[in-house]
Amino acid sequence: MRIREEIINALKNNLPVVAFESTVIAHGLPYPKNLEIFRNLENIAREMGCIPATIGIFRGEIVVGLTEKEIVEFIEDSPVKVGTREIPYVCALKKSAATTVSATAKIASLSGIKVFATGGIGGVHKGEWDVSQDLLELSKTNIIVVSTGCKSILDVKKTLEFLETFQVIVVGYKTEYFPIFYNGISSYKIDRVDSVEHIRNIYNIKNEISINGSILVANPIPEEYVISEDEMKKYLSIVEKEMDAKNISGKDVTPYTLKRLVELSKGKTLEANITLLENNAKLACDIAKSLVKL
Ligand code: PSU
Ligand code: MN
């Protein structure tokens, strides 16, 4: 594992560091917009006084803090998508791989990073058994993950029940309903927090009483980017039929769905995705800064 020197120094000196995942860049967003978004997220972090750490596997090496040059080469490598359990496999083959929420959370926490910003977490899919490693990783790894809840294609109720069974702390930032995108919020109630100080206190208490696992901070999508449930249903029924016909399953479901939604919505879901990623990056930075305050 290689951690960029700036990040090692920041962690040593108690400066705020925020991790970002690489699956959303490599598999969740179209090229070359994805590169622009990567740069945007890193710039937002810097403008807010934090050090960004984009995580991925680059030619067999786990990298915490991919550089601009590396991320370009990384995307050219057409990296596969890996959750935690696939990390050893791709490293042994010296391949490049994009890390999902599970893999990124695991690597970030191993390197001492406490806050991680993403778009949406994986969850329990509708229909036959398909449960993301993200959920299990969140129950084992000590990190604060800021996300816009999860996508409405998932079984939101079962996802929340899973998180409860595995004792993952879930809080809504300025909302008591679990957010989903692109519809805004679901009808499922969660605990509400209204400040980053509250999140910091929950984090400290959780650690004092040795509750293992993450805090999932669910940050809703801004109102202007909400797409109505009816409109989403229309797109999703098309995507589901296509996936059935093409036999798309397992880890290809999310990337395929994201790509088709962008096309079917004529870019609306892409705009929403970009905004929510930026929004989550900002909240993650505020949390990271609050954690390093003495
Ligand atoms: N949900 C999104 N956008 C994404 C992902 C999920 O709205 O980019 C990505 C994340 O990296 C997440 C992964 O960790 O997909 C989950 O994939 P799976 O369901 O195969 O575990
Ligand atoms: Mn899956």
pLDDT (tens digit per residue) in 176-227: 999 998 999 999 999 999 999 999 999 999 999 999 999 999 999 988 999 9
Q: Which fold has domain 2-291?
A: Indigoidine synthase fold (3.40.1790)
pLDDT higher than threshold 80 for residue 294 = no
Cα 259 vs. chain centroid, distance in angstroms?
Answer: 17
Burial-class residue 292 by CB neighbours within 10 Å (0-12, 13-18, 19+). Answer: middle
Answer yes or no: is pLDDT of 153 > 90. no
Q: Which residues line the annotated binding site for substrate?
A: 81, 101, 132-134
Which residues are marked as active site? 21, 151
- Quote the CA–CA distance of 50 and 250 in Å, as a whole number: 35
Single pTM value for the model: 0.96
ipTM above threshold 0.85 = yes
Ligand 1 surroundings by CB, under 6 angstroms: 21, 23-24, 28, 83, 100-101, 119-122, 132-134, 151, 251, 254, 258
Q: What is the CA radius of gyration of the chain?
A: 18
Q: Contact at 8 Å (CB) between 200 and 230?
A: no
The tokens describing 65, both together, are 């803090």
Residue closest via CA to ligand 1's atom 10 equals 100
112, burial (CB in 10 Å: exposed 0-12, middle 13-18, buried 19+):
middle
Write phi, then psi, for 144 (nearest 5 degrees).
-100, 120
Q: How far is CA 72 from CA 58, 68, 79, 169, 173, in A?
A: 11, 7, 11, 35, 33
pLDDT per position as a tens digit, 30-89: 999 999 999 999 999 999 999 999 999 999 999 999 999 999 999 999 999 999 999 999
Structural domain spans, the chain? 2-291
